[in-house]
Amino acid sequence: MFLVPEEKILVIEDENITALEIQTKLEGWGYEVVGLAGSGEEAIQISNEKGTDLILADIVLRGDMDGIDAVERISQRFDVPVIYLTAHADGDTFERAKLTRPSGYVIKPFDDTELKYSIEIALLRRDYQYKTKEFEEKERMSTVKDFMLSSTPALTSQIRIEDTASFLQEFAKFFEDNMKVKFKRELKVQHDFIDDPEYLRKVQSEYIAWMAHMFSNLGYSVETSADEFRVVECLWGPKIKDNKIYCLMCKAMAELALKWASIDGKIAHSYLLGPNPPRCKFSIEY
């Protein structure tokens, strides 16, 4: 038996007997079924609460939302492959389904081997895409770090204010060109809900986590709490005692990402130079 431990699958199917049959097959193949959703709304709720590595979705469902609509909504937050299981293979349905970029389209009644292999291929393709993205992001992060390390040694405490402003503008553009797409893809802020206090707290928490992860990848030592992150060891060490340009670069990165998150606030940045090592704190003020 080919087992794939810890791979989670969400099944969207409103026929209870069919859903249970699919669940039995999946569990027999070693997958974890995180939920059997009988409607599009239920599928969205399960994916938000439990997450998923792959979606098996019927297209025609009871209610106002069909399987394609549900997949579109889930894809706004999660980048997961989908395989449609459906008895409806007409041209218009197929064209709608194609817009969600599915990994497979299996016609009912389906062959077990066909479904099993379709799932394995979809998950292998997902793993390959993740590894490719991970490599690209490491390269991008290395580029940002190299820019910071190679540009700042020439900056001294005697630098003119206008030169500092010019450099920070150049750095901000460079950081945006390299990191904005990654940020947008990973947070996927839903602007229609940004005024909701609960959703705003969620976005703020994700922003804090993203910034901490990014700083860590750049080589900083970072700690976080619910509404702030702290750099306890930075790239520059004692150098920042002579030049605050290093701190200004960090603040610029935090401010840009806050803007991308559509959070209507500003970054409060405080630092304690101290003897060893320098520490600083970033928090959001409204």
Question: Residue 168: which domain range?
Answer: 155-285
Q: So what's the pLDDT on residue 277?
A: 59
Tell whether 14 and 73 lie within a shared domain: yes
> What residue type is 181 in one-letter code?
V
Tell whether 275 and 166 lie within a shared domain: yes
Task: List, in order, residues 6 or more apart from 160 with CB less than 8 Å away.
Answer: none
Tell whether 100 and 161 lie within a shared domain: no
Q: So what's the pLDDT on residue 261?
A: 92
**pTM reported for the whole predicted model:** 0.58
Beta bridge partners of 10: 35, 55
Tell whether 173 and 94 lie within a shared domain: no
Q: Residue 87: how many CB atoms within 10 A of its CB?
A: 11
Tell whether 17 and 120 lie within a shared domain: yes
How many domains does the chain fold into?
Answer: 2
Residue 198 lies in a domain: yes
What burial letters (b/e) apply to 108-142, b meaning 16+ CB within 10 Å? eebeeeebbebbeebbeebeeeeeeeeeebeebbe
Residue 81 lies in a domain: yes
Place of tokens 């806050």: 258
CA distance 246 to 218: 13
Tell whether 195 and 278 lie within a shared domain: yes
Binned average pLDDT, 10 residues per bin, the chain of 286 residues: 65 93 93 93 91 92 89 88 85 85 88 92 87 76 79 56 77 91 83 79 91 89 87 72 73 93 89 64 89
CATH at 72: 3.40.50.2300
Q: DSSP strand E in 191-258: where?
A: 221-224, 228-233
Where among 125, 145, 176 does a domain terminate? Answer: 125
Beta bridge partners of 268: 283
CA distance 278 to 94: 58
Cis bond upstream, residue 109 (ω within 30)? yes
Residue 140 lies in a domain: no
Tell whether 91 and 166 lie within a shared domain: no
> What residue type is 193 in one-letter code?
F
| Of 284, 257, 259, nearest in space to 269 by CA | 284
Q: So what's the pLDDT on residue 239?
A: 59
Distance set, CA 4 to CA 7, 35, 130, 182 (Å)? 6, 17, 17, 29
Task: List, in order, residues 6 or more apart from 76 with CB less than 8 Å away.
Answer: 188, 190
Q: So what's the pLDDT on residue 240?
A: 57
Residue 238 lies in a domain: yes
CA distance 236 to 250: 11
Residue 136 lies in a domain: no
Residue 96 lies in a domain: yes
Residue 3 lies in a domain: no
Q: So what's the pLDDT on residue 241?
A: 57
Tell whether 97 and 199 lie within a shared domain: no
Residue 230 lies in a domain: yes
